[in-house]
Amino acid sequence: MAILTLNGKSYDLEKKTLIMGILNITPDSFSDGGRHFNQDTALARALQMVTEGADIIDVGGESTRPGAVPVSVAEELERVIPVITAIRSTSAIPISVDTSKVAVAEAALASGASMLNDVWGGRKDPAMLKLAARADVPICLMHNRTKAVYADVVSEVAADLLESVEAALQASIKEENILLDPGIGFGKTPLHNLELLSRLKEITGLGYPVLLGVSRKSVIGKVLDLPVEQRLEGTAATVAYGVVHGVKISRVHDVLAMQRVVRMIEALLQGRLSPVD
């Protein structure tokens, strides 16, 4: 069984798909940039997501959209640490920090975060892997490339992810603390993203729990010809598809709607009328 332990609580990922609520403390994220760009609004949004059914809050202080302006360590710390501290002081919800900077990750863990989410999968700075091992916390290794060039995107993404896993194991990260993310929208064209989604079983079959982040992304906009604020139904379709094909954590903006989608899909798959705690 895939058991994930966060903030002292264990989750059986074979029985329940977790909902990770996105909390961007940025002025320029592609979907909600600027909306939660101060501590009060960020905390209010985090607590709202808790009431809506989030299992994890993923806090990020630097936009990872294409063309985003890089943020210094000092600025990222100033954005995320007060928010993480405020969430931890008011809720026991597990907190993930979305960063590729080791200094930010370390400060976030010290402030109450219990999971690392690295869009470079430990490849940008291998010290991130050593930190995860030392802190004994789960880390999500996302796939990313600087150029969207592939002969076979799915097999190459799978191979790259397994290389990241091997590096994590070499850094002494426990197997049960490793999560994978195929990186929809990162170093891939819209057609690459569709190919990855259509062959998602090849990623969920690698032997590690998979986190899928496709909420409101441009591949949905390309398919449906819709702006970011009108991609709820497209997101719901991809979230449901992900659960059916073995995804264990769905990273989403619209927590209330997506947790309902996930719970319904799980009821159909498992024959359960009541949700699993």
Q: What percent of the chain has pLDDT over 90?
A: 88
Assess if residue 261 is contained within a domain.
yes
Specify whether the CB–CB gap between 51 and 91 falls below 8 A. Answer: no
Q: What is the pLDDT of residue 234?
A: 98
The torsion of the CA quartet 112, 109, 214, 189, rounded to 10 degrees, works out to 160
If one counts the domains in the chain, the total is: 1
pLDDT at residue 28 greater than cutoff 90: no
Q: Is residue 2 part of a domain?
A: no
Per the residue annotation, which of 217, 231, 248, 263 is the catalytic one? 217
Q: Does 30 score more than 60 pLDDT?
A: no
pTM of the model: 0.94
CATH number at residue 99: 3.20.20.20
What mean pLDDT is predicted for residues 191-209? 98
| 221 in any annotated domain | yes
For residue 34, pLDDT over 60 is answered with no
Mean pLDDT for 107-133 is: 96
Q: Is 217 a catalytic residue?
A: yes
Find the catalytic residue in 123, 188, 251, 263. Answer: 251
pLDDT digits (tens, 9 = 90+) for 51-109: 999 999 999 999 876 667 789 999 999 999 999 999 999 999 999 999 999 999 999 99
Q: Is residue 127 part of a domain?
A: yes
Q: Would you call 174 a catalytic residue per the annotation?
A: no
Q: 139-148 pLDDT, tens per residue?
A: 999 999 999 9
The mean pLDDT of the chain is: 93
Label residue 220 by pLDDT band (50, 70, 90).
very high
| Between 80 and 31, the higher pLDDT residue | 80
In a domain, 277, yes or no: no
Expressed as residue numbers, the domain containing 169 is: 12-270
- Residue 5 falls within a domain, yes or no? no
Closest CA to 260 of 234, 240, 246: 240
The DSSP line for the chain is --EEEETTEEEETTT--EEEEEEE--S--TTTTTTT-SHHHHHHHHHHHHHHT-SEEEEESS--STTPPP--HHHHHHHHHHHHHHHHHH----EEEE-S-HHHHHHHHHHT--EEEETTTTSS-THHHHHHHHHT--EEEE---SS---SSHHHHHHHHHHHHHHHHHHTT--GGGEEEE--TTSS--HHHHHHHHHTTHHHHTTSS-BEE--TT-HHHHHHHT--GGG-HHHHHHHHHHHHHTT--EEEES-HHHHHHHHHHHHHHHHT-SS---
pLDDT of residue 33: 47
Is 6 part of any domain? Answer: no
User: Which tops the pLDDT comparison, 277 or 41?
Assistant: 41
Does residue 61 sit within a domain?
A: yes
In the chain, what percentage of residues exceed pLDDT 70? 94
pLDDT of 35: 55
32, pLDDT greater than 70:
no
29, pLDDT greater than 80: no
Window from 71-75, 132-136, 197-201 with minimum mean pLDDT: 71-75
**Contact in structure between 197 and 220 (CB atoms under 8 Å):** no
